[in-house]
Amino acid sequence: MLVMLKTNRDELNREAARIIASAVRRDPSLTLGLATGSTTIGVYAELARMHREEDLDFSKVVTFNLDEYVGLPANHPQSFRFFMQQNLFRHINVNPTNIHIPDGMRRDNYDEYCAAYEDSIRQAGGIDLQILGIGRNGHIGFNEPASSLGSRTRLKALTRETLEDNRKFFASGEEMPKCAITVGIGTILEARRIVLLAAGSSKSKAVALAIEGPITASVTASALQLHADVTFIVNEEAAAELAQKDYYRRILELTAEFTPSRLW
């Protein structure tokens, strides 16, 4: 694991966008796993700028989103499809046929549909770089506490905490979806490289448990400890409860003379 501490959101956004952009430049037909949520907005804005000003080319990139609310049509302003369109896709030259997001309007045969989503990830050669946010309860995607650490894409009921956290995005009085389709922890762990972003004090407990706590289905992000190539990019507020903060800060300094290509 590599833990990168950033002083503010701007630095976090730039670092995450830099990692994504260099992966795309190295492999123009990269398969990207994408997340939604307020933490990703600045990262996507930076990628859009790089596309505009630095010719970052997404024409061959393939994308798979982690999750979608059940019951929201693609044009609903709170659907993750709409979020991706507004914050990233309409600003870059991604080919619409290369975009994959679970279908929130699916009414039946969820198992079949979810297995087909997994199949399309496999047919694309698997996820090369998976971007993640983290919920206040330590969830990744919508893998709520007590999700199997081997889980695959499936229908998932949302916890009260997650419903509360996401209610702010919905109009007052508007009915909020109580379920989502999400890729599983097992699916996420198969990505070749994982980058998790966390910002703000509301995430400090989840971040500390994910990085330094025991591996447990109660904090599904802790499963990332099993992955061979995971980077956490965390701002000061989100890093507040990390016990080894000072060590993480010094790792780059201490290893600089060896110029390793990998630090995790």
Active site residues: 67, 137, 139, 144
Compute φ and ψ for 167, nearest 5 degrees: -60, -35
Taking the least distance from each CB to ligand GLP, the nearer of 64 and 142 is 142
| Bridging pattern class, strands 154-157 and 179-182 | antiparallel
d(CA 53, CA 255): 33
d(CA 245, CA 182): 31
Where do contacts with ligand GLP occur on this chain (CB under 6 A)? 35-39, 66-67, 133-135, 141-142, 162
* Distance in Å, CB of 166 to ligand GLP, minimum: 6
* Distance in Å, CB of 203 to ligand GLP, minimum: 7
* Distance in Å, CB of 58 to ligand GLP, minimum: 21
Contacting residues for 23 by C-beta, under 8 A, at least 6 apart: 30, 32, 128, 129, 193
Taking the least distance from each CB to ligand GLP, the nearer of 148 and 251 is 148
Q: Is the distance from CB of 119 to CB of 88 less than 8 angstroms?
A: no
Taking the least distance from each CB to ligand GLP, the nearer of 25 and 218 is 218
Contacting residues for 121 by C-beta, under 8 A, at least 6 apart: 31, 64, 100, 127, 183, 187
* DSSP state at residue 138: S
Tokens representing 234 are 């965390």
* Distance in Å, CB of 163 to ligand GLP, minimum: 10
Tell me if residue 229 falls in helix, strand or coil: coil
* Distance in Å, CB of 143 to ligand GLP, minimum: 9
Tokens representing 78 are 């709170």
Taking the least distance from each CB to ligand GLP, the nearer of 48 and 66 is 66
Tell me if residue 198 falls in helix, strand or coil: strand
- Position of tokens 């694309």? 124
Taking the least distance from each CB to ligand GLP, the nearer of 80 and 248 is 80
